[in-house]
């Protein structure tokens, strides 16, 4: 099986969705422990104003810390040009901009319509180029929107192509609202890959809101996807998309991929122990995952290390 990258987004997507503010030292311990378990890419935070998301106020410090971990690709989300400038100043390896395929969601999330977002992408692409930073665009609400409902798939492909022409280097299809099904995943990956190139359509950001998260991963694998976002303990959701809880659990995703013979580089035993850091730092927050409850089956020791 091909190498599959699990990109940990919990320190950003997970923590921005809960009220509690995780202490900086606990975040550092989390990032360090996941890297030691074999996770090679972590989205450590978001460069948004602390007045909007106080959970992300220490992102610059987390970038500096994470860059000291050998072999770790340090990613941050940026909501706009100012965020991209701050991310570049902090020295991220990669930045990701959310681009809502639902224009209503775009206005609520980033206060910009589609035309304004394309102009924003052009500016951020230049910032990334000058700083030698990888610039990805997450096609949010690509599978549906809690505000608008269905999102036209041809529109998703058209907007992705416009973003590629504006300078986006890579794309993620994001099931922000947990609407996706396996057939839709295969169809939309193929459509966007045709518009921007298969080399740019690499990533899925899926939620397990309706229990289809791992089924959609399997569909993504069949469609040629090589990177999957996930959140330790299943933390996460979008605060601007009502009801959109439930990021894929990193532990369950790693178990499934390792069991299928995919090469993830992740030691599941070590990964499961990282949960203790979150349990101690967020004692009132529910932590999810089937694999942590059921344990690793006998006979999986050799595959456990991905």
Digit-coded pLDDT (tens) for 69-82: 999 999 999 999 99
Chain-centroid distance, C-alpha 128: 19
Q: Report DSSP letters for 48-107, one per residue.
A: --TTT-GGGTTHHHHHHHHTTSTTPEEEEE--SHHHHHHHHHHT-SEEEEEEESSHHHHH
Query: Residue range 217-236: average pLDDT?
Result: 96
Predicted local confidence at residue 157, as pLDDT: 98
306 domain residue, yes or no: no
When the pLDDT of each residue in the chain is averaged and rounded to a whole number, the result is 93
Q: Report DSSP letters for 238-294, one per residue.
A: -TTSTT-B-BPBHHHHHHHHHHTT-B----HHHHHHHHHHHHHH-TTS----HHHHH
Q: pTM for the whole thing?
A: 0.95
* Of the candidates 176, 157, 173, 174, the residue with the CA atom closest to the CA atom of residue 165: 157
Catalytic residue numbers read 238
Distance CA 306, CA 267 (A): 6
301 domain residue, yes or no: no
CA angle 136, 214, 18 (to 5 degrees): 65
pLDDT of 114 over the 80 cut: yes
277 domain residue, yes or no: yes
* Per-residue pLDDT tens over the stretch 123-171: 999 999 999 999 999 999 999 998 888 999 999 999 999 999 999 999 9
Please report, for the domain that includes residue 199, its CATH number: 3.20.20.70
Predicted local confidence at residue 49, as pLDDT: 93
Domain that holds residue 125: 5-294
305 domain residue, yes or no: no
| Contact between residue 289 and residue 278 where contact means Cβ atoms under 8 Å apart | no
Query: Residue range 104-120: average pLDDT?
Result: 87
Predicted local confidence at residue 209, as pLDDT: 87
The DSSP H or E segment spanning 215 is helix 213-222
Between residues 299 and 257, the one the model is more confident about = 257
pLDDT of 27 over the 50 cut: yes
pLDDT of 218 over the 50 cut: yes
Distance CA 53, CA 225 (A): 31
pLDDT of 1 over the 70 cut: no
pLDDT of 185 over the 90 cut: yes
247 domain residue, yes or no: yes
Query: Residue range 27-54: average pLDDT?
Result: 97
Predicted local confidence at residue 303, as pLDDT: 61
Total count of domains within the chain: 1
213 domain residue, yes or no: yes
Predicted local confidence at residue 111, as pLDDT: 84
pLDDT of 241 over the 50 cut: no
127 domain residue, yes or no: yes
302 domain residue, yes or no: no
């Amino acid at each position: 099986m091909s190498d599959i990258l699990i990109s940990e987004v919990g320190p950003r997507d997970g923590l921005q969705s809960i009220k509690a503010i995780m202490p900086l030292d606990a975040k550092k311990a989390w990032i360090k422990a996941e890297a030691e378990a074999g996770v090679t890419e972590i989205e450590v935070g978001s460069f948004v104003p602390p007045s909007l998301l106080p959970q992300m106020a220490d992102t610059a410090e987390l970038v500096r810390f994470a860059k000291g971990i050998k072999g770790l690709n340090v990613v941050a989300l940026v909501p706009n040009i100012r965020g991209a400038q701050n991310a570049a100043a902090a020295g991220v390896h990669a930045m990701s901009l959310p681009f809502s395929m639902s224009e209503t969601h775009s206005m609520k999330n980033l206060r910009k319509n589609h035309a304004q977002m394309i102009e924003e992408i052009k500016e951020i692409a230049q910032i990334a180029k000058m700083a030698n930073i990888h610039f990805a665009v997450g096609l949010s609400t690509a599978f549906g929107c809690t505000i608008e409902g269905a999102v036209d798939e041809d529109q998703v492909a058209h907007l992705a192509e416009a973003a590629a022409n504006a300078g986006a280097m890579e794309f993620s299809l994001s099931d922000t609202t947990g609407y996706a099904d396996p057939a839709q995943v295969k169809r939309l990956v193929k459509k966007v890959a045709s518009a921007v190139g298969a080399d740019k359509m690499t990533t899925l950001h899926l939620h397990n809101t309706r229990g289809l998260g791992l089924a959609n991963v399997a569909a993504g694998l069949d469609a040629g996807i090589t990177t999957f976002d996930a959140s330790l303990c299943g933390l996460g959701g979008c605060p601007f998309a009502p009801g959109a809880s439930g990021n894929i659990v990193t532990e369950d995703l790693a178990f499934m991929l390792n069991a299928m013979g995919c090469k993830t580089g992740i030691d599941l035993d070590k990964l499961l122990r990282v949960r203790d850091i979150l349990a101690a730092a967020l004692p009132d927050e529910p932590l999810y995952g089937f694999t942590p409850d059921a344990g690793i089956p006998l006979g999986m020791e050799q595959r456990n290390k991905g």
